[in-house]
Amino acid sequence: MDRELPQPDRERLSALTALVVLAYGLIRIVVLPSVAVRFGALGIIVQLNFDTQFVMLTLAAALAASGADWLIRSHPGFEDTNAPDIDHMIVPGLAALGLGAILARVPAGIGLWLGLALTVGLLVSVLVAEYVVVDPLDPRRDIAAVGLSSLSILLLAGAFFAIRGLGLRAVFAIPLILVAAWAVAGRLLTLATPRGQAWLQAGVLGVLTSQVAWGLHYWRVNPVQEALVLTLVVYLGINLITVHFTGRLSPSRWLEFGAIAALGLTTAILLA
């Protein structure tokens, strides 16, 4: 007799989604006083503006991250601990932040409603996928892991594009790229490798990605090209580490990764 597969708590999932959507809606309704903070760093004057959008998007990301931990704890296979499970909080938080930032730029109208529906669908998909991958014996885990990985890579590409689009100096942009690559790579590697090794290897991959970003920062490449190349580095790094750990790094795999790298670099060049 087949066992009954666990399902996410609908009340928790609905409440969490509603709170995140509410935070998005408040961006267009609430007007908070803008606060500008200036300070010197490495001989450079830096100004940070804290406005309504910044506050609400930060709130949405925090809600999604902490809510993911709340949802995961309802899984019967979850090992209950007092400490939050950081691994399951990364992608939902990044998704809420990135999707909300895009949604905030959409003008009012039918496009906004369609964008909101798509955002909710993607956010719910991420939360459900995080719930399913808790149990390594769940027959749905492989599909959920593929979906989670695909969306994570897409969000990471958007993060790289946004960082370059902000026009930050390299001394500020590179650390952000390092942290983003480390966080996403670490989360995805924990799906197939031991947690301790995953985060260590993700850190090395993050440093490698930041070094590539440092070189691209001074080249005449547009934000789309840079985001594509950096995402390609992270994607190939994650897959190389995974197949090496599982002992499946065969010549055919090298050929596959080489073809992906060639296709990605060709696309980046054509976008010039």
Q: What is the pLDDT of residues 36-50, one digit of tens each?
A: 777 666 666 666 677
pLDDT mean over 3-14 = 82
Rounded Cα gap, residues 142 and 51, in angstroms: 41
Task: Give me the sign of the Cα torsion angle 174, 180, 185, 190.
Answer: positive
Output 124-129 pairs: Cβ under 8 A, ≥24 positions apart. 124/13, 124/17, 125/151, 126/91, 126/92, 126/95, 126/151, 127/8, 127/13, 127/16, 127/17, 127/64, 127/67, 127/68, 127/71, 127/92, 128/8, 128/13
Q: What is the pLDDT of residues 170-206, one digit of tens each?
A: 777 888 899 999 999 999 998 888 877 888 999 999 9
Cα torsion for 12, 17, 23, 26, to the nearest 10°? -120
Rounded Cα gap, residues 126 and 129, in angstroms: 5
23 pLDDT above the threshold of 70: yes
pLDDT at 185: 92
pLDDT-derived band of residue 134, with 50, 70 and 90 as boundaries?
confident
**Contact between residue 236 and residue 158 where contact means Cβ atoms under 8 Å apart:** no
Percent of the chain past pLDDT 70, that is, above it, reads 90
Give the bridge partners for 176, in sequence order.
none
Give the bridge partners for 49, in sequence order.
36
Rounded Cα gap, residues 136 and 179, in angstroms: 27
1 pLDDT above the threshold of 50: no
Mean of the per-residue pLDDT values of the chain: 84
pLDDT mean over 28-40 = 76
Rounded Cα gap, residues 264 and 175, in angstroms: 24
| Domain range annotation of the chain | 1-139, 140-272
pLDDT top residue among 61 and 166: 61
In terms of average pLDDT, the best of 32-36, 197-201, 257-261 is: 197-201
- And the tokens for 217? 């920062």
pLDDT top residue among 74 and 203: 203
pLDDT at 64: 92
79 pLDDT above the threshold of 50: yes
What are the CA-CA distances from residue 137 to residues 60, 140, 142, 243 (Å)? 32, 9, 10, 20
Task: Give the largest Cα separation in the chain, rounded.
Answer: 68
pLDDT-derived band of residue 74, with 50, 70 and 90 as boundaries?
confident
Instruction: Mention every residue, 6+ apart, whose C-beta is less than 8 A from residue 106.
Output: 112, 115
Task: Give me the sign of the Cα torsion angle 60, 196, 241, 73.
Answer: negative
Phi-psi region of 167 (alpha: psi -120 to 50; beta: other; left: phi over 0): left
Is the whole-model pTM more than 0.85? no
pLDDT at 57: 86
**Contact between residue 126 and residue 97 where contact means Cβ atoms under 8 Å apart:** no
pLDDT mean over 46-60 = 80
pLDDT mean over 56-62 = 89
- And the tokens for 140? 């749905």
pLDDT-derived band of residue 210, with 50, 70 and 90 as boundaries?
very high
